[in-house]
């Protein structure tokens, strides 16, 4: 369970998060919507531990563990996965090698035996197939020369293989055509279960047609200003965010 | 007379300024002598070899030098055979001519700077006051040498805070001589100097210019050199980016043919963060000409966020032409973007064929491709007058037959 | 591949922290007196029972060396080397063994620790090994199976005795004795090294490997390697080094000569991991190496691949003389420096003949307080019509106390030649590090991964077993440099 209490954070002198309160029980998928600049991406970066953000107050725990106190890799080992809005290119680093290194780093941290190359490749190929991705996805360098859609699919592939218990999807739908969007949604839905929760950050309703959230939150000016069921997303789609910020 | 005898016989008290300073400079020069290929900085240019049979003399009179005066409506500061030519100069409030006795702080360890300090007979001090746009000035050096002269001039150009100046420098001559000049440039905060240089010396001349540029914060030095004349020429530019936000853009082209030897050497030192340097050097070499480019970008530990770029390209138009280049990076800061590239080759036969297959005769096709090659360097020349000077030279070169 | 992987793992288990390959054995050494003079040269030659002409060649080299001065153009700084304070001959006390059974057991056990595939492991790995322990080769395996196809793989001392005509013909023919200060020194006092001869039309049936090891205090190491591939022959030669930990600097001045005749090809791969000195820059090997290959024959090919992570000082420019029409030279290099290491390394590609091609890919990684310089020469001579060169030099800086330098010399005297050179400098981007860490990788693993990615174009040129070793080495060598 992810519990965020009164979380405030800044970039430099600029206050971005102004007291986020959010509880996400295991097994649930929550969506965070909101206008540009509301702090949606900041929330995902703060939760995953990117440098450049200063937490000035509040707390965030995952399954009782204070995640703000630990390194990014320890958060990954704790089961948190961030699907990047802008996945990073790693020249010369093969995708399969990268994902396997990550899988085994996490397994090592958890005291689970590492996967050998053969076992990993078997799993990876199966994931590729079920996500309807091209085979060469594994052979290419991480995100290098990938189209925007391919990069997002690669994030989903990594998620499928790292099997997180909490996924943070930061505008994974942006720049995707409808087929890619479905692949992304399928990837998330495939992990749905009592031990998996996800925080889906998005601007638009359309991703939520495919990943139906249990709860929808509206983030505006660094605070959650409204929460509700899936119907809230449709309402926002129809009426926009106008008027919400004041709430 | 070899250089040693020549220096021995000079009556320094007859030259401007304290004689002792010149005598000291002679000593500094003697300690090293003319540079040779054994000096790493002169790896590809054998100056001593070129000058070893020179019969040096100090210039007397101006001969027919003024016949080569460029035509322009802009103000001119003119030197003939190394001496200030009042008759052909415009009086400008911010320019003070002198007799060559102004000390140059920079590079006193370099032999060419030392010999210049010893024998300089003229120069100008430019002092553009703060926030003044001083417009365009021609700095003209004319030489007419019936015998082998040693012509030396040293200029100092200061551009004040927020001020700007466009300097079009033209060096021309007849006969056989060594023209050795030193230019010190100091750009205050936010200053801008556009410095266009046309090296159009006599076919048998030797031309060596050493330039030191100090760039304060947010100042900009924009330069273009067309290395065109002289039997042997060397343009050596030292740039120090000493304040954050400084910028330098060095463009150069060499059009050399026959037995010409042209050398462009740059040393750009990034001492401050957030500075940018851009260099594009193109050489077009015909006949048995030899082109040299040495470019070094130094990035000091403190110079984070440096953006340094250097491109050097050479076109070899004949089987006997030669290009030597040495693009160096010396990096001590990690968060920088520095790159250099070099390409050397002939005109692309496929491009040639493409043009000819469209009905363009071979000679014209060559011209088109060479022009396209040079345009990449020339495009940085924004000033129309300077552009015209360079275009005329390129056209003259084309008419000569480009080889 | 298995054996080398095992090498790494064995060593990883045996040592922890610091230099992972450092331990010393206690074999009594048979020293010549310290210092260098004509008598020492004669002694070395006599101990090896060399013919008169070779002694004369050594003496000529020695006399040339006396007239030379240490080169000072490289970007390296070190205390003056006192050449009279070094030993020029050291060898295990026993006579050279005839078979593995004769090899000093302590030596064998050290090789065991290092995982050098000497006996059955060699068979598993399919690698023949000529192991050089200090000066004298102590064991050579796979000789028979190689000799069946006519391949000669032995120590150079043995080759002097058994194949004098080949030695006389080729020794010093690529790197003349007086080529440079260190090659002159090597030519005067070279102790031992490897000799490989691949006869006409033979593809060497296995990768050839030599492990060098420096183990004698104050002993300069002067290996000499000579590889000849006759018409249509091909060979892949692997050289890898580890050395015991010690405080005093050691001089190493090896010479490697390669000769490729018509359509022959030689691939020479090196992983150099000698003791780099401690974190404060004390100790470490001084490595002054002259490596040069002559592509004598039409369409011959010489390829150098090196991964240089060790030594306090690396001064090394594996080069190709492209004499044969259509011949090609390649240089793939990773040089990694950390702490106070200094590397000045690169290549020379001399294009003499028409249609010769060369490729240079250099990846320099600087960390700590180190300085890493690429220095290279591409020279196109007038006869080299249609010659081509492509050069890519990339530098990666880790931290802001190190230096990365690029000094290429590019000279073209042929109109129809085409030369392209590119160089870049970069750092590991913060967003790349974060991306990896958010996937669960530690900072060190992430750096290792990214550095290996940076080096990929070079590492893929290594034989498989070396590539695995090299990747681990890069990561190990960078430990402590980040975060």
Q: Among B267, B344, B350, pick the best mutation site for testing chain C contact (most C Cβ within 10 A).
A: B344
Q: What is the mean pLDDT of residues B239-259?
A: 96
Residue A195 token pair: 């031990």
- Tell me whether chains B and C touch (3+ CB pairs under 8 A): yes
Parallel, antiparallel or unpaired: strands C313-316 and C285-295: parallel
- Tell me whether chains A and B touch (3+ CB pairs under 8 A): no
C395 near B CB under 8 A: yes
Whether residue B222 lies inside any domain: the answer is yes
**DSSP string computed for B257-269:** -TT-EEEEEEEEE
pLDDT of residue C246 exceeding 80, the answer is: no
CB < 8 Å to B277, chain C = none
The reported pLDDT for the residue numbered C112 is 55
From B362's Cα to the closest Cα of chain C, the distance in A is: 17
Torsion angle, CA of C137/C141/C143/C146, rounded to 10 degrees? -120
Question: Does C431 sit within 8 Å of A76, measured CB to CB?
Answer: no
Cβ partners under 8 Å of residue B76, min gap 6: B69, B70, B88, B89, B90, B137, B138, B139, B140
Whether residue B385 lies inside any domain: the answer is no
Instruction: Output the 3-class SS for A187-238.
Output: HHHHHCECCEEEEEECCCCHHHHHCCCCEEEEEECCEEEEEECHHHHHHHHH
A71 near C CB under 8 A: yes
Question: Does C395 sit within 8 Å of B341, measured CB to CB?
Answer: no
CB < 8 Å to C431, chain A = 88
From A180's Cα to the closest Cα of chain C, the distance in A is: 22
Residue C89 token pair: 């001959």
The interface pTM score, or ipTM, of the predicted complex is 0.90
CB < 8 Å to A73, chain C = 437-443
Proportion of chain A in helix, strand, coil states, percent, rounded to 5: 40, 30, 35
How far, in Å, CA of C256 to CA of B186, rounded? 52
Cβ partners under 8 Å of residue B238, min gap 6: B106, B107, B210, B211, B212, B213, B266, B267, B269
The reported pLDDT for the residue numbered C431 is 92
The reported pLDDT for the residue numbered B276 is 97
How far, in Å, CA of C364 to CA of A87, rounded? 26
pLDDT of residue C280 exceeding 90, the answer is: no
How far, in Å, CA of A44 to CA of B159, rounded? 51
pLDDT digits (tens, 9 = 90+) for B3-23: 888 888 888 888 888 888 899
The partner residue sitting opposite C440, judged by closest CB among A50, A73, A90, is A73
Q: How far is C-alpha B147 from the chain's CA centre?
A: 24
Chain C: partners with 3+ C-beta pairs within 8 Å: A, B
Q: Which of C230, C235, C228, C166 is nearest to C201 (CA)?
A: C230
**How are strands ordered across the β-sheet holding A2-11?**
A14-24, A2-11, A54-62, A65-66
C452 near A CB under 8 A: yes
From A89's Cα to the closest Cα of chain C, the distance in A is: 7
- Return the minimum-mean-pLDDT range out of B328-337, B367-376, C1-10, C235-244: C1-10
Residue A137 token pair: 């996805």
Whether residue B370 lies inside any domain: the answer is no
Q: Judge whether A238 and A205 are in contact, CB under 8 Å.
A: no
B342 near C CB under 8 A: yes
Question: Does B336 sit within 8 Å of C421, measured CB to CB?
Answer: no
Q: Judge whether C417 and C385 are in contact, CB under 8 Å.
A: yes
Domain count, chain B: 1
The reported pLDDT for the residue numbered A180 is 84
Whether residue B8 lies inside any domain: the answer is yes
Q: Judge whether C158 and C146 are in contact, CB under 8 Å.
A: no
Percent with pLDDT over 90 in chain C: 54
Q: Which of B118, B136, B193, B125 is nearest to B159 (CA)?
A: B193
Residue bearing tokens 């922890």 = C16
- Return the minimum-mean-pLDDT range out of B168-172, B189-193, C106-110, C273-277: C106-110
pLDDT of residue B101 exceeding 90, the answer is: no
- Band of pLDDT at residue C30, cut at 50, 70 and 90: low
Q: Which of A107, A162, A113, A153 is nearest to A132 (CA)?
A: A153
pLDDT digits (tens, 9 = 90+) for B284-298: 999 999 999 999 999
From A245's Cα to the closest Cα of chain C, the distance in A is: 31
pLDDT digits (tens, 9 = 90+) for C372-400: 999 999 999 999 999 999 999 999 999 88
C392 near A CB under 8 A: no
pLDDT digits (tens, 9 = 90+) for B171-192: 999 999 999 999 999 999 999 9
Q: Which of C214, C182, C177 is nearest to C76 (CA)?
A: C182
Whether residue B331 lies inside any domain: the answer is yes
pLDDT of residue C217 exceeding 70, the answer is: no
SS3 state of residue A64: coil
Q: Judge whether A39 and A15 are in contact, CB under 8 Å.
A: no
Q: What is the mean pLDDT of residues C337-349?
A: 95
CB < 8 Å to C405, chain B = 328-331
pLDDT of residue B95 exceeding 60, the answer is: yes
Q: How far is CA B339 from CA B7, B45, B273, B309, C395, in A?
A: 44, 25, 17, 5, 10
From A48's Cα to the closest Cα of chain C, the distance in A is: 7
C423 near B CB under 8 A: yes
Q: What is the mean pLDDT of residues C241-252?
A: 56
From C370's Cα to the closest Cα of chain B, the distance in A is: 10
Residue bearing tokens 């077009």 = B284
pLDDT of residue B197 exceeding 60, the answer is: yes
From B266's Cα to the closest Cα of chain C, the distance in A is: 14
The partner residue sitting opposite C410, judged by closest CB among B325, B335, B336, is B325
Q: How far is CA A73 from CA A67, A104, A108, C53, in A?
A: 11, 12, 12, 65
Q: How far is CA B26 from CA B8, B60, B237, C481, in A?
A: 9, 21, 23, 50
Stated as kind and residue range, the H or E segment containing B30 is helix B19-32
CB < 8 Å to C436, chain A = 90, 98, 102
SS3 state of residue B97: strand
The reported pLDDT for the residue numbered C22 is 43
Q: Among C74, C342, C406, pick the best mutation site for testing chain B contact (most B Cβ within 10 A).
A: C406
The partner residue sitting opposite B346, judged by closest CB among C409, C416, C423, is C416
Q: Judge whether C22 and C275 are in contact, CB under 8 Å.
A: yes
pLDDT of residue B272 exceeding 90, the answer is: yes
Q: Which of B246, B254, B255 is nearest to B273 (CA)?
A: B246
Kindly report the number of other CB atoms within 10 A of residue B31's CB atom: 10
How far, in Å, CA of C332 to CA of C322, rounded? 17
The partner residue sitting opposite B336, judged by closest CB among C406, C423, C425, is C425
Q: Among B331, B335, B370, pick the best mutation site for testing chain C contact (most C Cβ within 10 A).
A: B331
Q: Judge whether B246 and B272 are in contact, CB under 8 Å.
A: yes
Q: Judge whether A55 and A43 are in contact, CB under 8 Å.
A: no
Stated as kind and residue range, the H or E segment containing B189 is none
Kindly report the number of other CB atoms within 10 A of residue B6's CB atom: 17
How far, in Å, CA of C333 to CA of C280, rounded? 26
pLDDT of residue C21 exceeding 70, the answer is: no
| Chain C residue with Cα closest to B348 | C416
pLDDT of residue B139 exceeding 90, the answer is: yes
pLDDT of residue B46 exceeding 50, the answer is: yes
**DSSP string computed for C168-220:** HHHTTSSS-TTSSHHHHHHHHH----EEEEE-TTPBPSSEEEEEEE--STTB-
Residue bearing tokens 């074999």 = C27
Question: Does A90 sit within 8 Å of C441, measured CB to CB?
Answer: no
Percent with pLDDT over 70 in chain A: 98
B354 near C CB under 8 A: no
Angle at B65 between CA B64 and CA B66, to 5 degrees: 95
Burial (Cβ within 10 Å: 0-12, 13-18, ≥19) of residue A15: middle
Whether residue B284 lies inside any domain: the answer is yes
Question: Does B326 sit within 8 Å of C410, measured CB to CB?
Answer: yes
Kindly report the number of other CB atoms within 10 A of residue B5's CB atom: 10
| Mean confidence (pLDDT) of chain B | 92
Cβ under 8 Å to C: B residues 268-307: 301, 304
Question: Does C418 sit within 8 Å of B323, measured CB to CB?
Answer: no
Domain ranges of chain A: 2-90+165-246
pLDDT digits (tens, 9 = 90+) for C291-306: 999 999 999 999 999 9
How far, in Å, CA of B157 to CA of C35, rounded? 59
pLDDT digits (tens, 9 = 90+) for B309-354: 999 999 999 999 999 999 999 999 999 999 999 999 999 888 887 7
B323 near C CB under 8 A: yes
The secondary structure of residue C34, as a DSSP letter, is: B
From C147's Cα to the closest Cα of chain B, the distance in A is: 47
pLDDT digits (tens, 9 = 90+) for C39-56: 889 888 888 889 999 999
Instruction: Output the 3-class SS for C137-151.
Output: EEEECCHHHHHHCCC
| Chain C residue with Cα closest to A163 | C439
CB < 8 Å to C443, chain A = 71, 73
Cβ under 8 Å to A: C residues 426-445: 429-432, 434-443, 445
The reported pLDDT for the residue numbered C103 is 52
From C272's Cα to the closest Cα of chain B, the distance in A is: 25
Residue bearing tokens 């749905």 = A192
Q: Among A101, A115, A139, A145, pick the best mutation site for testing chain C contact (most C Cβ within 10 A).
A: A101
pLDDT digits (tens, 9 = 90+) for C88-106: 876 544 444 455 555 555 5
Positive or negative torsion for Cα C155, C160, C161, C165:
positive
Whether residue B197 lies inside any domain: the answer is yes
Whether residue B164 lies inside any domain: the answer is yes
Q: What residue numbers bound the domain in which B284 lies?
A: 3-346
Residue bearing tokens 């100056």 = B47
Find the largest Cα–Cα distance for chain A.
56
Residue B314 token pair: 């050479």
C407 near B CB under 8 A: yes
Parallel, antiparallel or unpaired: strands A14-24 and A2-11: antiparallel
How far, in Å, CA of B201 to CA of C313, rounded? 47
Q: Judge whether C219 and C246 are in contact, CB under 8 Å.
A: no
pLDDT of residue C3 exceeding 60, the answer is: no
The partner residue sitting opposite A50, judged by closest CB among C434, C440, C441, is C434
Residue C47 token pair: 């101990």
How far, in Å, CA of B114 to CA of C274, rounded? 47
Q: Which residues of chain A have pLDDT under 70?
A: 243-247
- Does the domain spanning A2-90+165-246 belong to CATH 3.30.360.10? no
C417 near B CB under 8 A: yes
From B314's Cα to the closest Cα of chain C, the distance in A is: 10
pLDDT digits (tens, 9 = 90+) for B54-72: 888 888 888 889 999 999 9
From C27's Cα to the closest Cα of chain A, the distance in A is: 41
Kindly report the number of other CB atoms within 10 A of residue A162's CB atom: 20
pLDDT of residue C139 exceeding 70, the answer is: no
Residue A114 token pair: 């590492």
């Amino acid at each position: 369970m992810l519990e965020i209490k009164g979380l405030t954070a800044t970039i430099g002198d600029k206050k971005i998060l102004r007291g986020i309160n959010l509880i996400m029980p295991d097994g649930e998928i929550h969506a965070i919507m909101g206008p540009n600049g509301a702090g949606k991406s900041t929330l995902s970066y703060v939760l995953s531990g990117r440098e450049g953000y200063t937490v000035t107050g509040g707390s965030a725990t995952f399954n009782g563990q204070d995640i703000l106190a630990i390194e990014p890799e320890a958060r990954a080992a704790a089961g948190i996965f961030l699907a990047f809005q802008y996945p990073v290119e790693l020249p010369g680093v093969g995708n399969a090698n990268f994902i396997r290194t990550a899988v085994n780093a996490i397994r090592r941290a958890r005291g689970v035996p590492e996967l050998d190359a053969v076992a990993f490749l078997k799993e990876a190929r199966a994931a590729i197939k079920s996500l309807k991705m091209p085979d060469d996805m594994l052979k290419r360098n991480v995100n290098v020369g990938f189209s925007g859609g391919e990069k997002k699919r690669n994030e989903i592939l990594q998620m499928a293989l790292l099997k997180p218990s909490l996924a943070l999807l930061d505008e994974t739908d942006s720049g995707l055509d409808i087929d890619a969007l479905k692949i992304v949604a399928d990837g998330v839905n495939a992990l749905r279960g009592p031990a998996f929760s996800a925080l889906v950050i998005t601007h638009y309703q359309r991703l939520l047609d495919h990943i139906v959230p249990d709860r929808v939150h509206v983030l505006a000016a660094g605070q959650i200003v409204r929460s509700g069921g899936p119907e809230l997303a449709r309402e926002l789609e129809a009426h926009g965010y106008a008027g919400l910020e004041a709430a | 007379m070899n250089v040693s005898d020549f220096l021995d016989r000079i009556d320094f008290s007859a030259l401007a300024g304290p004689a002792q300073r010149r005598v000291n400079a002679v000593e500094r020069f003697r300690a090293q002598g003319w540079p040779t290929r054994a000096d790493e900085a002169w790896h590809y240019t054998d100056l001593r070899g070129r000058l070893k049979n020179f019969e040096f003399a100090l210039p007397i009179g101006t001969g027919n030098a003024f016949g080569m005066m460029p035509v322009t409506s802009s103000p001119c500061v003119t030197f003939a055979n190394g001496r200030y030519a009042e008759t052909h100069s415009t009086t400008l409030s911010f320019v003070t001519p002198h007799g060559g006795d102004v000390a140059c702080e920079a590079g006193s360890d370099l032999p060419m700077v030392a010999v210049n300090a010893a024998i300089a007979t003229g120069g100008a001090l430019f002092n553009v006051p703060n926030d003044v746009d001083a417009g365009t000035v021609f700095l003209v050096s004319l030489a007419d040498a019936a015998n082998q002269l040693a012509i030396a001039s040293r200029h100092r150009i200061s551009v004040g805070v927020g001020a700007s100046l466009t300097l079009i420098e033209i060096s021309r001559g007849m006969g056989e001589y060594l023209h050795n000049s030193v230019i010190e440039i100091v750009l205050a905060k936010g200053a801008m100097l556009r410095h266009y240089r046309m090296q159009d010396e006599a076919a048998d001349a030797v031309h060596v210019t050493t330039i030191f540029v100090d760039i304060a914060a947010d100042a900009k030095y924009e330069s273009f050199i067309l290395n065109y004349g002289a039997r042997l020429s060397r343009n050596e530019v030292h740039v120090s980016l000493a304040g954050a936000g400084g910028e330098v853009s060095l463009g150069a082209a060499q059009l050399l043919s026959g037995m010409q030897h042209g050398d462009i050497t740059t040393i750009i030192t990034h001492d401050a963060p957030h500075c940018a340097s851009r260099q594009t050097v193109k050489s077009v070499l015909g006949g048995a000409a030899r082109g040299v480019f040495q470019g070094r970008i130094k990035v000091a530990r403190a110079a984070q966020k440096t953006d340094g770029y250097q491109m050097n390209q050479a076109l070899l138009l004949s089987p006997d032409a030669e290009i030597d280049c040495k693009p160096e990076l010396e990096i001590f800061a990690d968060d920088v973007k520095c790159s250099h590239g070099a390409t050397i080759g002939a005109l692309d036969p496929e491009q040639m064929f493409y043009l000819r297959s469209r009905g363009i005769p071979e000679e014209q096709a060559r011209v088109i491709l060479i022009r396209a090659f040079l345009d990449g360097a020339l495009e940085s020349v924004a000033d129309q007058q300077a552009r015209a000077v360079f275009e005329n030279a390129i056209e003259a070169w084309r008419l000569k037959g480009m080889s | 591949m298995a054996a080398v992987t095992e090498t790494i793992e064995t060593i990883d288990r045996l040592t922890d922290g610091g230099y992972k390959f450092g331990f010393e054995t206690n074999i009594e050494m048979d020293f010549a007196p310290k210092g260098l003079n004509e008598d020492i040269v004669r002694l070395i030659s006599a101990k090896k029972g060399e013919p008169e002409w070779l002694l004369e060649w050594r003496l000529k080299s020695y006399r040339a060396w006396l007239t030379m001065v240490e080169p000072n153009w490289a970007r390296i700084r070190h205390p003056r080397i006192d050449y009279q304070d070094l030993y020029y001959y050291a060898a295990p006390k026993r006579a050279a063994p005839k078979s593995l059974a004769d090899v000093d057991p302590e030596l064998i056990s050290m090789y065991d620790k290092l995982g050098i595939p000497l006996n059955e492991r060699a068979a598993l790995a399919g690698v023949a090994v000529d192991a050089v322990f200090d000066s004298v080769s102590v064991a050579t395996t796979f000789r028979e199976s190689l000799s069946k196809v006519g391949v000669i793989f032995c120590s150079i001392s043995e080759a002097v005795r058994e194949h004098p005509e080949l030695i006389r013909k080729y020794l010093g023919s690529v790197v003349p004795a007086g080529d440079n200060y260190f090659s002159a020194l090597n030519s005067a006092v070279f102790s031992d090294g490897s000799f490989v001869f691949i006869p006409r039309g033979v593809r060497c049936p296995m990768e050839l490997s030599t492990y060098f090891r420096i183990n004698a205090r104050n002993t300069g190491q002067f290996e000499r390697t000579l590889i000849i591939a006759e018409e249509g022959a091909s060979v892949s030669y692997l050289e890898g080094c580890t050395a015991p930990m010690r405080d005093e600097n050691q001089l190493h001045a090896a010479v490697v000569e390669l000769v490729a005749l018509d359509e022959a090809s030689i691939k020479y791969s090196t992983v150099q991991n000698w003791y780099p000195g401690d974190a404060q820059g004390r100790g470490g090997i001084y490595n002054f190496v002259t490596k040069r290959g002559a592509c004598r024959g039409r369409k011959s090919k010489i390829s150098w691949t090196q991964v240089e992570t060790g030594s306090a000082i690396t001064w090394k420019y594996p080069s190709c003389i492209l004499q044969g029409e259509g011949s090609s030279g390649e240089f793939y290099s990773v040089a990694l420096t950390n702490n106070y290491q200094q590397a000045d390394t690169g290549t020379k590609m001399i294009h003499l003949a028409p249609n010769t091609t060369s490729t240079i890919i250099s990846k320099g990684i600087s960390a700590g307080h180190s300085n890493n310089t690429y220095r290279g020469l591409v020279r196109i001579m007038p006869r080299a019509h249609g010659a081509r060169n492509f050069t890519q030099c990339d530098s990666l800086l880790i931290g802001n106390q190190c230096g990365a330098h690029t000094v290429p010399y590019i000279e073209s005297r042929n109109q129809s030649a085409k030369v392209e050179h590119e160089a870049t400098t970069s750092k590991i981007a913060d967003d790349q590090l974060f991306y990896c860490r958010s996937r669960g990788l530690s900072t060190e693993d992430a750096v290792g991964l990214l550095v290996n990615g940076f080096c990929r174009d070079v590492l893929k040129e290594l034989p498989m077993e070396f590539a695995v070793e090299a990747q681990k080495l890069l990561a190990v060598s960078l430990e402590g440099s980040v975060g």
